Structure 1
Amino acid sequence: MTPIYITYLAKTRTISHAPAQVITLVMLGFSAGLPLSLIFSTLSLWLMEAGVELSTVTMFSWAALGYSFKFVWSPLIDSLQLPILSRILGKRRSWLLLAQGLMIAAVLLMAFANPNPAFSSSLNIMAAGSVLLGFAAATQDVVIDAYRIEISPNNSAMQSILSASYTAGYRIGMIASGAGSLILAAKLGSTTGHYVYEAWCMTYLVMAGLMGLGVLTTLMIKEPEYNQTNTSNISTRDNLRLLAMFVLVIVVFVATFKFSGSLFPDKETSPLLQFIYETLHLILSLLVAAVAGWLSVRMGVANKQIAVQTWVDPIRDFFQRYGKKALILLALIGLYRISDIVSGVISSVFYKQMDFSKEEIAYAVKTFGVIMSIFGGFAGGALAQKFRIMNMMMLGAIAAAATNLLFVLLATRGHDVHLMYTAVGLDNFAAGLAGTVFVAFLSSLTNIRFTAVQYALFSSLMMLFPKVLGGYSGSIVERIEYTGFFMLTALLGVPVLGLIWWADRILFPKND
């Protein structure tokens, strides 16, 4: 597939170094795709086999909220120079290497934690490892997104191509950590009725080894030319003060979130009310943390000018460029992927409860499904070259929501392998197409001066609301069952169509 794509690039002369850039993005995508299943679907099946309750299993998806809050520390990635590493590798590569090292450490921590309820402390260690993996993987994503944009700035056509290449590598990484891990755990003897911790431990150790490919890629690629000529002029002392401010804000956020929980009802309520309470809980913690950051600047913990330049200017730039349109764009960004993200949180558990074996899930979902998403990604990249981006956004949103209805049918039919392949194939193709088009759309909104921060903000917002809601998917299923749940996820995509239409009108008024 890749050689054909490279030939296409050469013929269209989109960029002179396209082949090398495509291969680089495929490899970086592979490194980014590995952690996701180890936090979500693969981990869910491990926890289910170990005897962890369904509501707890789906709440583990919150371990990946780092993807939704990466905009908080992304300014540090643009501002801070890592001691020694930045001087040797450059800004982007040094941060990549740090993130990848933390990812490997997190997976090793998870591998040596048995989540069986009989070992309650081990479940806490597993949770800590999951959070660290989510944080490190999100950091890697920030750097890769910035790298992708900086190696081909102001070239929307090339960005859609690089996005498709990145998506292909990402999906291959998901096959390795999704299908690969499930098949390996099954071969090593762990099944639903016969849980073998050692099988899962070895599986995660192998996944940690595969993450070494990301490290090799980082060491072999070149730093973007933009960063070679635009290095940070912030002193080491001011960098340390900025880092101290960030650590203080994070400590305040965690403490507030932990100790303010008693302010909200702790009884059994509907999933909707639970979601509302948890959202308010999260907003309160963020507000207190923001006040702590403001006070720390006033008290001289960090240089005010540098703090404003790091955290405020990138956001101010976005609102200055788009004015009132910015609110509509942010609403669209926050809701565009809601249908497939919310349904995806519980998908592996759904297949397991429909009596599909790990091998069937591995081949149908983690292999065939991922391959279909790769085809969808390349289709999105190719179509984005020929049609208006907003038209493709509309097509992707309709397809992503509509394919969820196939899972309503699967929920009523139960163990139907042929229907499973149909639903999984079409759903993943739609998700791949929508995802690639959406990445190209987000890339077009960024300013090259604030690449990491603005793209991290956009992609964080894309994940935040759906992931918080997805954490309650287990509770929702317990109340309205899978048929109602998948119908709900399809309906969640309807308001998105209106937002796309509205955004199209305000961004491109001449098309009216």
Structure 2
Amino acid sequence: MPTPDARRSWRESLAVYARAPVVAMLFLGFSAGLPFLLVFSTLSAWLRSAGVEVAAIGFFSWIGMLYSIKFFWAPVVDRVTLPLMTRLLGQRRSWMLLAQAMIAAGLVGLAATPPVGNLGWVAGFALLVAFGSATQDIAIDAFRIESASDDMQAAMASTYIIGYRGGLLAAGAGALYVASAVSWHAAYLTMAALTGVGMMTVLLRPEPRRLAGGNKPVLEPRVRAFLRKTRGQPRAWRHVGAWVIGALVCPFTDFFVRHGVKALALLAFIAVFRVSDLAMASMANPLYIDLGFSLATIANVTNVFGIAMSIGGGVLGGLLVVRYGIGRMLVAGALMTMLTNLLFVALALMGDRLPMLVVTIVGDNLANGMASAVFIAFLSSLTSRAYTATQYALFSSLMTLPGKFLSGFGGLVVDAQGYASFFTLASLLGIPAVLLAVWVSRGMPGRPGA
């Protein structure tokens, strides 16, 4: 990690985007983004166009719960070896390839299944895609963290975000275009073929180097202590107990041992960093519509300016972390996220002014793109290389759950107080994140005032 006394030049900072691990995340990001819409909005469009009732389509949204509980099987991805595949490819690449195979199989199954009269099969194949996608996310996160040092993590996160957006575009607009020009069957077969992008990347990139003994629970002190205490007991019981301690207990105790009394404050920071922008997310589109903007205008502005600024923010975040360090940019990201929510307050007060809509979407997406890249780098720096998948899955879940929970109450606040008051409150929710970011940054390279 560069320090203020050994700061990299802008040319050296930009050169990080030409590094192979960073470029690889562009294609793995595409692979991660591709299946997401194919079991959500794109699938809903297919079901509705096939005549499936809206009430039945609504239940398909429950499939998304798999993404929120992926930390439950992250220890399996972290520790369990796959017969033959792990020996040939390594722990991370074998799980990525297996997950991609599940995604492709599920998409082929959906392509071959007419929705009407086969909703059970459609749901089953969609669950297979979602489970494979969530599993792939776990493996990719671990692969990314183990593939490069902390100062490259933001750059890798930014190229991942770009690739992820590309996957969303392919699964959204791309699938709809193929469906309208040919058929839904062809659309889902095309998407299944595009999983080859991720598969080729997995086969071409090397397995990252893990800590010695990182996949051998017997080497961990708590596991050794358990085995000593259970001598003479059934071998199967000792084996299961050792695995549970190594895979489930040690990742959590490791975090608290490494950070001591600061661990709870760090977890609080992870929980509140994105509360401000996630809490207001559910009310952004209703605001645009209630102000009188047409759906076409909203779509054009959010697609053209929103996606461009989100990608630009991610690249900028990665560049600035390489240049200035994670600590300083954590404060900047938290502050920008909080302040850009005030743009929505201005928009709510000004009304249907197209220039203000553009400014709002540009500012919001630029800030969120930058903050996301910086925060992913921060989470990666907290993650132990011995428990990569399990710890990062826990952190990423904690990062989004509080904000998503509070977002559900957004409509009640708008009904009672109006949009301007709601977005002001959402902005104020960012104050704890800014204060904790200042505290966290004091112990990191590139801290303010260093």
Cα distance, 1:308 vs. partner?
A: 0.4
Matched, 1:156 2:150: yes
> Which residue matches 1:70?
70
TM-superposed deviation, 1:499? 2.5
CA shift, 1:230, in A, is 5.5
- Please say if residues 22 and 159 of structure 2, whose CA atoms lie closer than 8 Å, have aligned partners that are also in contact: yes
Once residues 461 and 184 of structure 1 are traced to their aligned partners in structure 2, the CA distance between those partners, rounded to angstroms, is 37
Which residue is equivalent to 1:145? 141
**Contact map agreement 1:149 1:443 (CA 8 A) in 2:** yes
- 2:141 is equivalent to residue 167 of structure 1: no
Deviates more, 1:23-32 or 1:399-408: 399-408
Q: What residue number does 2:243 align with?
A: 306
Instruction: Look up the equivalent residue of 1:70 and give its one-letter code.
Output: K
Change beyond 3 A, Cα 1:38–1:399: farther
Q: Structure 1: give runs of 5+ residues left out of the alignment.
A: 1-7, 189-197, 236-296
**Contact between 1:369 and 1:424, CA under 8 Å: does it hold in 2?**
yes
> What is the CA-CA distance between 1:405 and the residue it aligns to?
3.6
The alignment-based identity, stated in percent, is 40
| CA distance in 2: counterparts of 1:327 and 1:374, whole angstroms | 32
Unpaired segments ≥5 residues, structure 2: 1-8, 219-233
Query: Contact conserved, 2:313 with 2:368, CA < 8 A, in 1?
Result: yes
Give me the whole-angstrom Cα distance separating, in 1, the residues matched to 2:399 and 2:183: 35
RMSD of aligned alpha carbons: 4.3
Q: 1:427 to 1:131 in 2, by over 3 A?
A: farther
What is the deviation of 1:223?
1.5
The amino acid across from 1:224 in the alignment is P
Q: For the Cα contact (< 8 Å) 2:93–2:202, is it kept in 1?
A: yes
Distance change >3 Å, CA 465–CA 11, structure 1 → 2: closer
Q: TM-score, normalised by structure 2?
A: 0.76
CA 345–29 in structure 1, closer or farther in 2 if over 3 Å, else same? farther
Q: Take 2:289 and 2:189, find their aligned partners in 1: how far apart are those partners?
A: 24
| Number of aligned positions between the proteins | 423
Contact 1:44 1:348 in 2 (8 A): no
CA-to-partner distance for each residue in 1:218-267, whole Å, 9 max, x for gaps? Answer: 2222222338x7684589xxxxxxxxxxxxxxxxxxxxxxxxxxxxxxxx
Q: Which range moved further: 422-431 or 208-217? A: 208-217
Which residue of the partner structure matches residue 104 of structure 2?
104
| Counterpart contact for 2:282–2:407, Cα < 8 Å | yes
> What residue is the counterpart of 1:210 in the other structure?
194
Matched, 1:437 2:431: no
AA partner of residue 208 (structure 2) = P
User: What SS does structure 2 have at the residue aligned with 1:316?
Assistant: helix
Residue identity in the other structure for 2:145 = I
CA distance in 1, matches of 2:44, 2:293: 15
Task: Report what 1:368 is aligned to.
Answer: 305
Cα shift at 1:36: 3.8
Note the C-alpha offset of 1:406.
3.3
Q: Structure 2 CA distance, aligned partners of 1:381 and 1:455? A: 19
Counterpart mapping for 1:186-201 below 5 A? none
Residue 425 in structure 1 maps to residue 355 in structure 2: no
User: CA 1:346–1:173 in 2, change beyond 3 Å: closer, same or farther?
Assistant: farther
Secondary structure at 1:82's aligned position in 2? coil
The alignment status of 1:460 with 2:444, answered yes or no, reads: no
Change (3 A) 1:106 1:349: farther
The CA distance in 2 between the partners of 1:356 and 1:202, in whole Å, is 31
Q: TM-score under structure 1 normalisation?
A: 0.68
Q: Which residue matches 1:489? A: 426
Deviations 1:287-313 (CA, angstroms, capped at 9, x unpaired): xxxxxxxxxx9x949621221011111
Counterpart of 1:135 in structure 2 is 131
Tell me: CA distance 1:209–1:389, structure 2 relative to 1, closer, same or farther (3 Å). same
How far apart, CA to CA, are the structure 2 residues paired with 1:406 and 1:180? 32
Alignment partner of 2:387 out of 450, 463, 472: 450
1:484-506 residue CA offsets vs partner (Å, 9 max, x unmatched):
65444333323322332343457
**By how many angstroms is 1:451 displaced?**
1.7
Which digits, 9 at most, give the CA deviation of each residue in 1:5-34, with x for residues without a partner?
Answer: xxx99856988x953222211111111222
Aligned match for 2:203, one of 207, 219, 239: 219
SS across alignment from 1:167: helix
Amino acid at match of 1:176: A
Q: How does 1:253-292 map to 2 (within 5 A)?
A: none
Give the Å deviation of 1:74: 1.4
Determine if contact 1:111/1:200 at 8 Å carries over to the other structure: yes
- When residues 364 and 114 of structure 1 are mapped into structure 2, their CA distance, relative to the original with a 3 A threshold, is farther
Cα distance in 2 for partners of 1:412, 1:405 equals 11
Q: Which amino acid aligns with 2:132?
A: A
Give the distance between the partners of 1:410 and 1:110, measured in 2 at CA. 42
Q: 5 Å matches for 1:498-509?
A: 498-504=435-441
Deviation of 1:149 after TM superposition, in Å, equals 1.8
State yes or no: 1:33 paired with 2:29. no
- 1:171 and 1:373 in contact (8 A); partners too: no
Going from structure 1 to structure 2, the CA distance change for 1:406 and 1:65 (only over 3 Å counts) comes to: farther
**In 2, Cα distance between equivalents of 1:338 and 1:60:** 26
Relative to structure 1, the CA distance from residue 318 to residue 467 in structure 2 (aligned partners, 3 Å threshold; closer, same or farther) is: same
Describe the SS at the equivalent of 1:455. Answer: helix
The 1-side partners of 2:421 and 2:277 are apart by 15
Q: Deviation of residue 128 (structure 1)?
A: 5.9
Indicate yes or no: 2:322 matched with 1:338: no
Aligned partners of 1:399, 1:230: CA distance in 2, in Å?
41
SS at match of 1:71: helix
1:225 alignment partner, SS class: coil
After TM superposition, the structure 1 stretch with the greater mean CA deviation from structure 2, 67-76 or 434-443, is 67-76
User: Is the 1:64–1:130 Cα contact (8 Å) retained in structure 2?
Assistant: no
Matches of 1:356 and 1:81 in 2, distance apart? 52
Tell me the amino acid that sits aligned with residue 71 of structure 1. Answer: F
Alignment partners' CA distance in 1, 2:418 and 2:114:
30
Letter in 2 for 1:83: P
Displacement of 1:81 in angstroms is 0.9
- 2:73 is aligned with what amino acid? W
Deviation at 1:182, TM superposition (A): 5.9
**Pair 1:453–1:472, CA change in 2 (3 A):** same
Deviates more, 1:364-373 or 1:176-185: 176-185
CA deviation profile, 1:322-343 (whole Å, cap 9, x unmatched): 1110001001111212233344
CA distance in 2 between counterparts of 1:384 and 1:443 reads: 13
Q: 3-state DSSP class of the match of 2:319?
A: helix
Q: Is the 8 A contact 1:10 1:18 kept in 2?
A: no
